[in-house]
Structure 1
Amino acid sequence: MSKRSYRTSCDGDGSSSAKHRKVKVSTFRKWLRDYDREYQTLTWLDSETSWDNGEKIVEKLKCKKCTKYRDRIISRKNFSGKWIEGSESVRTTNVVDHAKSDQHLYAMKLQQLEEAQSWDGDTTTLMPIVQSLCVISEEERQKLRMKFDTAYFVATEHIAYQKYPKLCELQMKHGVNLGSSYLNENVAKEFVKYIAESKLQSVLSFVQNSTFFSLLMDGSTDASNSENEVLFVMWCDVNSDDHMIHTRMTYLSMHTPLHTNAEGLFESLQQGLQLLGISCVTQEVCSNLVGIATDGASSNVAANGLQGLVQEKLPWVVWMWCLAHRTELAINNAFSSTPCFKLIDDMLLRLFYLYKKSPKKCRELANVVPDLKEVYQIDDQGGTKSIRACGTRWVCHKVSAMKRVMAKFGAYTAHLCTLSEDSSIKSVDRSKFIGYLHKWADAKYILGCAVFVDVDLLLPCSIFSKSMQADELDIVSALTYLLKTVKEIDKLRKKPISKWQIYSAILKKIVYEDGKHKYQGQEVKRFFEAKSYFESHYKEFCQLVVENLRT
């Protein structure tokens, strides 16, 4: 049966005719149910109906609450009487727009207040959260406090808001009296919004009373891959309980710039400053802003970037390139110029993508480890799947990935051998696996991991990188960590490589059997060439890291 379209024409101003839509009563009733959860349509949405070809249809939409309180909402901003007389636009978008309108929200509030005055029970079931706080008893206030705590837990633990009602239900199951109101997920969102506003006001109070403050900015992409600019604010707290001066830092805001160029970032900066009560970026109103920290992207630090725009208006502002980010780049630069490290980095990348989207290969790899564990002392702790070697924390990612390769090298090569002989795999892929086997069998790979990782070379850098991301960090601590890292690496440069802890341990595990050098049962080729290479170049590696950290 074909769907019937209800469209009629009605006269406008006489010069043209405007069309409006009509729907079946069954469709209207479905709207009532579908939109009630979010907009409480069952309490206010009404309609005018007529008959068309023997079928009842909706011609106009009306609002019961706006009609009831017409005299009290007529003075509201953008008041319109069309939902009182009957709106001819019979569409869900029109319903949603009216539900969000100022006059409708005020009419709903008037209805809640009227009902609350005649209600003898729990007033919080009928009144908005803020208004209910003025009239509720201490017992109801305690219930509300526990619900706020639950909503705060949901938000800070990154739990879906849909879990809030279940958490409340669980608490009540264990004897906690939460009452019967404010137990749905929409209320949880409201609670979190109020908590956020309260925390923001607290931050603003501290910052506005401080003598100086600084801002930290960084880009972040959301699930839709949209670029967002996150702002943190830092200030000196001179009014602490221990009578000491503390550096405080906290989240301020997040903005979505229209463009990720200098102008777009400057707009995000202005929006953040407006939250602090600073209306514009001028010398008169921004005298307390003394520093801004960003990463080293050209849109931030170039002469025509954000730094240039800010310092043109506020020349005294100290611009800081994030020390943690700079440390990562410095160490990255040191190793990127090393051909051997590039080979190892390429191996880590290809290993990661080999298993990333293949549960079957991961299961096969996991089955290989127990077979080799007893014979070749393969470490079965910490999982088998290869680890991603790239990320924002470059050093930590590389250290973790190379540790996994050293622990499971025999399993990876044995599984590659199996894949290269599996006739069910495409010949092109089998050829690729054979190429990996021949390439990674070179002793440079396993010995290189031993040289660059753990306590030998990258671990001091990894510890330094993590220390730069500590919550309590000042310039003295940062300088201390830097000097300590440089000192540790300089010690390695003066120590014979044969006494490096991990490198010497790997050398002991490489055995000579049947005329071949083997590690975890797998042949490693050109062992002496690789050993000679690292013995002659390890001082150079250390020197590169030290030079890049110092500059």
Structure 2
Amino acid sequence: MTKRTIDSFFRPAALAASVPVPQSTESGDDDAEHCVAKKARTHHFREDWLREFSWLKYCKENNSMNCECCSRYPKTVGNTKFADSDGTSQFKHDTLVKHNLSLKHKVCRDMLINEKATPLQVAFRRQEAVNHSADEAEMMLKFNTAYFVAKEELPFTKFKSQLDLQRKNGLKLNDTYNNDTACAQFVGVIADTLKGKTCTKIKDAPYISIMIDGDTDVSTKECEIIYARILNEGKPRNILIGHIEVKHAHAQGVYDATKEAFKQLGTETGWLQKTVAMGADGAAVKGAFIVPFHCMPHRLELAMLSVQRNISMVDHVYHLLNMVWKTYHFSCKSMRELRALGEEVGVRVNVPVSGTRWLPHVNRALQTLLKPGGKDGHLQNPGQFTAVFYHMEHLTASSTNADIAGRSRKVKKMMEDGSFVGFCHFLADLFEVISKFSLLLQRNDVILPQENVLQAVNGIENLIATIEAMSVRCKPGGRLAELLADLQAQRRKQEGEPHPLYKYQGITIKGEAAGLGKEGLSMASTPKLQQAVRATIDCTVLHLKQRFSSLLHEESTSATAKAVKSFKIFSHDSWPEQRDQLTDYGAEELDFLLDHFSSVLTRNGCDSNLAREEYQSMKTFIFRNYMDKSYHALWEMMVTKLPFCSDYKNILHLVHIMLVLPVSSAVCERGFSAQKRNKSDVRGSLHVDTVEDLIRISMEGPSLQEFDAKEAVQTWFSSGKRSRRPNYKGWPSEPPSGTQEDLL
């Protein structure tokens, strides 16, 4: 009698009869022995599995099974025997259940179902894809429009009118997402895509510098703007990190705002461990190796502000410019009278120059006041100076307002003083030299040592030398030299006359005018002017040296100041011309830099001993081949091109740190300028995050022609809590005309 199993009790009778049951090879007497050593169980394929798993296929010849779906797409499912043509002989029910629940099997199953779908199902899917493609194309048009609104710094309310203009030009656009709220959402998504790219750059950068500045916006919110300076393809680049409202403006509040800005950018940037320098308007920094950088253009401003406070004649010039601006800025009547006087003397009156206290703006105002009229630029041609003088004379005689009359009388008296006119021309020469250097330092690509006369360090030395030379002789081709030459020509024409008259732009000047007309300036002929010029030059040189002492040759006990000066060893223009002297050049400074930045260098895999060896070979290589290259081009090539970036990879860590040092934080001022343009009096309710998005697009976004909205549109479609419906058409707010009458 055959031995029955438990499984046979639960199977149908026919199926149980058709499936043979193997004969037992054991006798009942061996039960005790069977408990000790049991043979391995043999598994067999069961026919009912084919009904339970529709995808299962069984091959009797090979006695194996496989999956119909997975064998159709072996590359998708990966490494599994269910996808092999030979199949598997592991006849276990649990194995089939696990495979049926696997994710890759479900993917292959859906692919097979789609392949075998009926034409109607395929048509529905194809139409769905077409609809989605049309929706995406329409949303790209709207995203492009929203980007234009943000890039051009227009209000969000202009979004609808821009879409209406496109419809009028024949473009078919749906009415959905057609308001300022949708525009603000689109701008936020676009800014997030730009922010994601910024996060990637910060993650990939081994060294960064941070630049911070604060400002109060039109809604009386105190905000901090944070920029990071990184090396991008061998070139230094400033990128916006965030625009954050601070709870308190003290050191801890600024630090917390900086951490919050990087947190919003991305949690895994590791920014604090990568920071090697920080640029601000004089803020102190506590860090083992972090180099604090006081913004160099700001140092120039503070130096000249000290000169203004200490030299009365300089303060008088500032006061004159301010009074002229105040007279015509707040009075349309005065401006109208000035233009009328300008027409009489043949002068086209310019609007009074406005701006900040920064030197380039002050220089522009002074140059505008002194510029003569006419195409030839002769000093006797009537200009702005002439028109202002005659109008001040008119106001002095006719104004009934005591303040205006007194101010006009004071301005007129200063403008006809020969020594004051001469000092204005000297100051115009001085401001022009300093303004050019200030504008150079405000460039985003300026680095610590740069080529030739444009070096950030050598430029200060050249600036001081140029200013000191002005005490000996006038600037060649400058304003003061032209004035003296013209007055000397007038003196020669009037030689022999008892009372010669000296004029400037048609106005008779008094005081030391006769002394200005003599050959060569001297203390005897023009004591007032000479004393003011020498005092101004001495004071300017003194304060420039004080403000830039850490970058000049003055001894400093500060480790950070020494680190900044030590980077000069990478300026190949200052290397010794003799090869035997080049061998030992920079060894001491290199040791100091490797020790100062040891922690951050070690973290990034820099070997100090190899760096010393590579510096010697790199000096020799550059000395032989690339001494004629500019500073930017040389280090861009060394950092990015093979085999240089590989052969000198350890010493180039210090070059990388040097290139990201924040010489100027003027980019923060540009960010606040964008803030003021976007968050004006009529847009004072803009949230701080929205202002950051607008600054990011305005300052760092690509041009409208280069902008691709595809990534932002795809992000917008996938980020919604519900499915997006760009072509949704709601019920009409009002019934069509005639509907009510038809119902009645």
Of residues 231, 236, 250 in structure 1, which corresponds to 2:231?
A: 236
2:598 alignment partner in structure 1: none
Correspondence 1:94-493 to 2 at 5 A? 137-237=132-232, 240=233, 245-278=234-267, 286-296=272-282, 300-301=283-284, 307=285, 311=286, 314-373=287-346, 378=347, 380=348, 383-388=349-354, 390-391=356-357, 394-407=358-371, 408-422=384-398, 425-453=400-428, 456-477=429-450, 480-484=455-459, 486-487=461-462, 490-491=465-466, 493=468
**What CA distance in whole angstroms lies between the structure 2 residues aligned with 1:254 and 1:231?**
6
Distance in 1, matches of 2:370 and 2:236, equals 42
Greater strand proportion: 1
Q: Is the 8 A contact 1:444 1:530 kept in 2?
A: no
Contact kept, 8 Å, 1:461 with 1:485, in 2: the verdict is no
| 1:466 counterpart letter in structure 2 | L
2:670 is aligned to none
Aligned counterparts of 2:202 and 2:271: Cα–Cα separation in 1: 14
Partner letter of residue 384 of structure 1?
N
Tell me, what secondary structure is at the counterpart of 2:237? strand
Conserved in 2, the CA contact under 8 Å of 1:233 and 1:249? yes
Structure with higher RCO (Cα < 8 A, 6+ apart): 2
For normalisation by structure 2, the TM-score amounts to 0.48
| Structure 1 CA distance for aligned equivalents of residues 188 and 355 of structure 2 | 38
Residue 395 of structure 1, CA deviation: 1.1
Residue ranges of structure 1 left out of the alignment (5+ in a row)? 1-119, 124-131, 302-306
TM-superposed CA distance for 1:188, in Å, is: 0.9
Superposed displacement of residue 279, structure 1: 8.9
Distance between the aligned counterparts of 1:492 and 1:255, measured in 2? 41
* Per-residue CA distance 1:488-535 (angstroms, 9 max, x = gap): 663464462284421132345556797543322333221348842445
1:468 and 1:142 mapped to 2: Cα distance?
45
Alignment map for 1:507-518 (pairs within 5 Å): 507-508=484-485, 515-518=500-503
Residue 338 of structure 1: CA displacement? 2.7
| Unaligned segments of structure 2, at least 5 residues | 1-123, 372-383, 517-525, 550-744
**Secondary structure of the equivalent of 1:477?**
coil
- 1:144 counterpart letter in structure 2: M
Superposed displacement of residue 371, structure 1? 1.3
CA distance in 2, matches of 1:530, 1:175: 75
Is the partner of 2:272 in helix, strand or coil? coil
Structure 1 residue identity aligned to 2:263: Q
Kept in 2: contact 1:493–1:538 (CA 8 A) = no
Q: Deviations over 1:10-36 (max 9, x none)?
A: xxxxxxxxxxxxxxxxxxxxxxxxxxx
The alpha carbon displacement at 1:457 in A equals 2.2
The whole-number CA distance in structure 1 between the counterparts of 2:147 and 2:338 is 42
**How far apart are 1:451 and its partner, in Å?**
0.9
User: 1:48-59 to 2 correspondence within 5 Å?
Assistant: none
Q: Is 2:483 aligned against 1:506?
A: yes
2:514 aligned with 1:521, yes or no? no
Deviations 1:286-324 (A, max 9, x none): 32222221112xxx33xxxxx3xxx2xx43322211122
Distance 2:514 2:501 in 1: 14
1:193 Cα offset (Å): 0.7
CA distances 1:12-64 after superposition (whole Å, capped 9, x unpaired): xxxxxxxxxxxxxxxxxxxxxxxxxxxxxxxxxxxxxxxxxxxxxxxxxxxxx
Aligned mates of 1:489, 1:198 — CA distance in 2: 47
CA distance in 1, matches of 2:538, 2:172: 66
Is this contact kept in 2: 1:150–1:164, CA < 8 A?
yes
- The 3-state SS of whatever aligns with 2:252 is helix
- Give the Cα separation in 1 of the matches to 2:544 and 2:450: 16
Q: Is the 8 A contact 2:224 2:246 kept in 1?
A: yes
Q: CA 1:322–1:492 in structure 2 vs 1: closer, same or farther (change >3 Å)?
A: closer
Counterparts of 2:352 and 2:311, CA distance in 1 = 23
Distance 1:395 1:432, change over 3 A: closer
Q: Is the 8 A contact 2:467 2:541 kept in 1?
A: no
Q: Distance in 1 between the 2:236 and 2:403 partners?
A: 58
Give me the whole-angstrom Cα distance separating, in 2, the residues matched to 1:273 and 1:505: 55
1: CA distance between counterparts of 2:406 and 2:538? 39
The structure number with the bigger radius of gyration is 2
1:493/1:539 contact within 8 Å kept? no
Deviation at 1:415, TM superposition (A): 0.6
Please state how far the C-alpha of 1:537 moved relative to its aligned partner.
Answer: 5.8
Contact 1:460/1:485 (8 A) holds in 2: no
CA distance in 2, matches of 1:170, 1:148: 15
Q: 2 CA distance for matches of 1:448 and 1:223? A: 39
- d(CA) in 2 for partners of 1:218 and 1:440? 39
Equivalent pair of 1:348/1:389 in contact (CA under 8 Å): no
Query: Equivalent residue of 1:287, what SS?
Result: helix
RMSD (Å), alpha carbons: 3.2
Specify the alignment match of 1:496 in structure 2.
473
> Per the alignment, do residues 138 and 343 of structure 1 end up closer, same or farther by CA in structure 2, a change over 3 Å counting?
same
1:3-22 superposed matches below 5 A: none
* Deviation, structure 1 residue 385: 3.1
Question: Any idea what SS the aligned residue of 1:218 has?
Answer: strand
State the alpha-carbon separation in 2 of the partners of residues 389 and 451 from structure 1.
Answer: 22
Question: How high is the TM-score relative to the length of structure 1?
Answer: 0.63
CA displacement at 1:171 relative to structure 2: 2.5
Which residue identity lines up with residue 431 of structure 1 in the other structure? G
- For residue 344 of structure 1, report the CA deviation from its aligned partner: 0.7
Task: Give, in angstroms, the shift of residue 247 of structure 1.
Answer: 2.2
2:502–2:514 Cα contact (<8 Å) kept? no
- Once the two structures are overlaid, the 10-residue window that deviates more, 460-469 or 430-439, is 430-439
